[in-house]
């Protein structure tokens, strides 16, 4: 029971912290513009092949 209460309190605290961070980040301009998609690196190999570099090989 003690672990359950700690987990609920921790989850609430993390959610509150995330909400506060996002509010402050918007006001201070930390977030990227919505029209520019974030890169996840999934297409890096395709870009290397298009540039004529061998894919997966160290430079």
pLDDT value at residue 21: 92
Total residue length of the chain: 59
Residues of the chain with pLDDT under 70: 31-59
pLDDT value at residue 35: 64
Structural domain boundaries in the chain = 1-30
Of 40, 28, 48, the residue nearest 58 (C-alpha): 48
pLDDT value at residue 20: 94
> The whole model's pTM is what?
0.46
pLDDT value at residue 30: 79
Share of the chain above pLDDT 70, in %: 51
CA 30, CA 51: separation in Å to the nearest integer? 32
């Amino acid at each position: 029971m003690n672990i359950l209460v700690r987990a609920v309190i921790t989850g609430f605290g993390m959610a509150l912290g995330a909400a506060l961070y996002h509010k402050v980040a918007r006001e201070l301009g930390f977030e990227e513009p919505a029209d520019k998609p974030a890169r996840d690196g999934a297409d890096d190999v395709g870009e290397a092949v298009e540039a004529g570099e061998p894919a997966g090989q160290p430079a």
